[in-house]
Amino acid sequence: MTTAATAAADSAGTASGGVRAAYDRARAEGRAALVGYLPAGFPTCEGAIEAAKVMVDAGCDVIEIGLPYSDPMMDGPTIQDAVHQALVGGVRVADVFRTVEAVAATGVPPLVMTYWNPVDRYGVEAFARDLKSAGGAGLITPDLTPEEAGPWLEAAEAHDLDRVFLVALSSTDERIEKIVKVCRGFVYAASLMGVTGTRGTVDTGAPRLVERTRAAVARTGSGLPVGLGLGVSTGAQAAEVAGFADGVIVGSAFIRRLLDAPDLPTGLKDLRLLTAELAAGVRHPVVP
């Protein structure tokens, strides 16, 4: 499958329009966007690049590239296993940027999802500069609060990068509005309390969280889309989430395909099948 976003690659062969544009293209097609996550360096640096390209080709509109980190407080056992393999394999920040560059060349916007410590250690301005140079669209920062994000917001503005913060079921309406005001690209709604991982059902609080976040978006007038993540692993679940959210974010289910495969070619084949199933799901939303 060739995605609309792939066709939107500019003449330089880099991602065009950013994350918001990818969401807008999906909305224009009457569907939610499919956002896929994989950590850089898993199962190998080259394998991660191949996997990301397969996910793009099979229907992902946005790719989240995880920056492997030794203390992943939000990630469940599946992502922890993948990140551990990447770290043991010697992945470096340079490999993250190399993966970003490869995804950007497909025309699909790549976001880096990272805990804040690696960015702080690298240097906020330098990280923003090198991410932009690689063709990155921005950062998702699960453990960075708006109150502590000043240097990042300044660097992101200087380098025209998206900044995606998370809202959760436990967030008050006032907190959601504060987070929405500093977001650019989209707002990440985390629909589960706890760590990442596939679930048998979508959390029943998810539609209400999206509704509350959209109300906050409306008050700011930004029109930002709201993507929902954590727990989706099947086309049916993707269709269910696509019925009330602007984006469906999937991570652990993709990683599980690679972890369970006996070799990379088999894993890539399974990854393609799952991506196609999820891409079909977001195209057939279940209206609540």
Torsion, Cα 39 91 96 196, to 10 degrees, reads 20
Residue type, 167: V
Strands (E), 16-61: 33-39
Furthest CA-CA distance within the chain: 50
Known catalytic residue at 120: no
Q: Which residues of 163-188 are buried (b: 16+ CB within 10 A; e: fewer)?
A: bbbbbbeebeeeebbbbbebbbbbbb
In Å, what is the CA distance from 34 to each residue of 90, 203, 217, 223? 30, 18, 20, 19
CA atoms of 232 and 237, how far apart (whole Å): 6
169 backbone dihedrals φ, ψ, rounded to 5°:
-55, -30
Residue type, 247: G
Known catalytic residue at 143: no
* Catalytic member of 61, 75, 130, 177: 75
Which 8-state DSSP code applies to residue 148? Answer: G
> Distance between alpha carbon 164 and the CA centroid of its chain, in Å?
9
* Catalytic member of 10, 46, 61, 64: 64
Q: Could you list the active site residues? A: 64, 75
